[in-house]
């Protein structure tokens, strides 16, 4: 399979072309269009939002979506140490968190003295949601270009869970550990309100998945019409692309917090075993890797070398396939008639 010489995008990635010099259309457009680094306007917007949250003087300034992976662990440190925010770390346990990650979580919140809540939803519902997300094309193509459908569903459950906790506890901000590679197209994705999309349109996005699982899926993937009417509505912020992202610095800080890299996950994840299953199923359905876009963007931004990106995308020892098969067997078994809990 041919990949762009500059970044790593493969010729199978939707909507791109690779020219006779081996350069993809995104790389050609990039150098002309995008200024390097975060804008002064976003930096100012972030500091205004943080100052405003502190002024409100609630018990917590921000809920942080804490997966226990390297980015959200570093984010907790950044927000507590550099910005002096009062934080509530909230973890959605999807049932596939690596054991080493659970230890990392305990070490990080303990080192930073941060309150921590772990939320677990009905596991039979979660298993059905992840399995059905992987088996068919349940999301529109413009979303699956940037990640696996399993990840899209899981992240939607994360955002819904974080917003519910923030609304319930009167917390003005929800912070996400997105990296510059995970932010798709525009500045609006770095600071936004999740209540601007009309409710019926939002439901439409999850309709194909809910048809396969049951209408209960909506309750996990989105808020209710009434919940979206909450005022003031929490603001969702992804600070890492705004303040700058340096993997070496992140790993240096994490070592001090007692965080170490789990070995029971695939190379693209530092916390979640389900990720491997999402990757393998996505590659089968779409003929490209769900991390192709993110890795290519990190290369284009000069954050990751092309070689390092290829190492994360290739699976020479078959670790990802092995782990994916193990998870798939587990998911299928847990949803069989013998294992499935009675309604
Ligand atoms: Zn390229």
Predicted confidence (pLDDT) per residue in 234-252, tens digit: 999 999 999 988 889 999 9
245 CA → ligand 1 middle, Å: 21
pLDDT single digits (tens) 110-149? 999 999 999 999 999 999 999 999 999 999 999 999 999 9
Residue 235's pLDDT is 97
- Domain span holding position 184: 38-259
250-278 confidence digits (pLDDT tens): 999 999 999 999 998 988 889 999 999 99
> How far, in Å, from the CA of 17 to the mean position of ligand 1?
9
| Contact (CB, 8 A) for 240 and 71 | yes
Q: Alpha-carbon distance 279 to 34, whole Å? A: 29
Q: Which CATH number characterizes residue 76's domain?
A: 3.40.50.620
* Cα(96)–Cα(113) distance, integer angstroms: 25
- Model pLDDT, residue 100: 95
Q: Residue 324's pLDDT is what? A: 95
| Centre of ligand 1 from the C-alpha of residue 9, in Å | 6
Number of domains composing the chain: 1
- Expressed in angstroms and rounded, the spacing between residue 3 Cα and the centre of ligand 1 is 8
Instruction: Determine the distance separating the centroid of ligand 1 and the alpha carbon of 288, expressed in angstroms.
Output: 14
- Tokens linked to 271: 């916390």
Determine, yes or no, domain membership for 121.
yes
Q: Give the Å distance between the CA of 18 and the centre of ligand 1.
A: 8
Q: Which of the four pLDDT bands, split at 50, 70 and 90, describes residue 181?
A: confident
Half-sphere exposure of 337 (CA within 13 A, CB side): 0
Ligand 1 centre from 11 Cα, in Å?
A: 10
* 160-177 burial code (b ≥16 CB/10 A, e <16): bbbbbbbbeeebbbbbbb
Which has the closest alpha carbon to 75: 41, 43, 48, 114?
114
Give the per-residue pLDDT at 266: 87
Within a domain: 133? yes
| 3-class DSSP assignment, residue 126 | helix
Domain-embedded: residue 271: no
Q: Could you tell me which of 279, 286, 342, 273 has the C-alpha nearest to residue 314?
A: 279
Q: Is residue 328 part of a domain?
A: no
What is the band of 343 on the pLDDT scale with cuts at 50, 70, 90? low
Residue 182 lies in a domain: yes
User: Within a domain: residue 76?
Assistant: yes
127 inside domain:
yes
Q: What is the pLDDT of residues 279-316, one digit of tens each?
A: 999 999 999 999 999 999 989 988 899 999 999 899 88
For residue 47, give Cα distances in angstroms to 41, 143, 205, 242: 10, 30, 33, 10
pLDDT category of residue 159 using cuts at 50, 70 and 90: very high
Alpha-carbon torsion 200, 201, 203, 208, what sign?
Answer: positive
Distance CA 170, CA 158 (A): 18
Q: Is residue 237 part of a domain?
A: yes
């Amino acid at each position: 399979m041919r990949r762009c010489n500059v970044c790593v995008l493969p010729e199978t990635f939707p909507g791109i072309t690779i020219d006779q010099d081996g350069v993809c259309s995104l790389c050609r457009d990039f150098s002309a269009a995008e200024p390097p680094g975060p804008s002064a306007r976003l930096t100012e917007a972030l500091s205004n939002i943080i100052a405003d949250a502190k002024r409100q003087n609630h018990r917590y300034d921000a809920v942080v979506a804490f997966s226990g992976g390297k980015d959200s662990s570093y984010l907790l440190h950044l927000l507590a140490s550099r910005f002096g925010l009062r934080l509530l770390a909230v973890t959605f346990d999807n049932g596939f968190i690596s054991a080493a990650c659970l230890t990392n979580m305990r070490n990080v919140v303990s080192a930073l003295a941060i309150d921590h809540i772990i939320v677990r939803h009905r596991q039979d519902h979660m298993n059905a949601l992840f399995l059905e997300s992987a088996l068919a094309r349940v999301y529109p193509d413009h979303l699956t270009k940037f990640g696996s459908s399993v990840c899209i569903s899981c992240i939607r459950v994360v955002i819904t869970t974080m917003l519910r906790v923030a609304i319930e506890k009167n917390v003005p901000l929800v912070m996400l550990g997105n990296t510059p590679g995970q932010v798709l197209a525009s500045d609006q994705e770095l600071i936004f309100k999740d209540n601007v999309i009309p409710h019926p349109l939002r439901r439409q996005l999850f309709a194909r998945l809910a048809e396969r699982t049951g209408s209960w899926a909506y309750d996990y993937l989105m808020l209710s019409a009434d919940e979206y009417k909450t005022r003031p509505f929490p603001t969702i912020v992804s600070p890492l692309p705004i303040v700058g992202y340096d993997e070496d610095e992140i790993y240096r800080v994490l070592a001090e917090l007692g965080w170490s890299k789990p070995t029971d996950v695939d190379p693209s994840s530092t916390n979640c075993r389900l990720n491997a299953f999402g990757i393998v199923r996505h590659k089968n359905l779409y003929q490209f890797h769900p991390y192709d876009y993110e890795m290519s963007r990190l290369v284009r931004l000069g954050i990751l070398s092309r070689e390092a990106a290829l190492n994360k995308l290739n699976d020479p020892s078959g670790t990802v396939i092995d782990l994916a098969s193990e998870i798939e067997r587990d998911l299928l078994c847990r949803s069989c008639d013998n294992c499935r809990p009675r309604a």
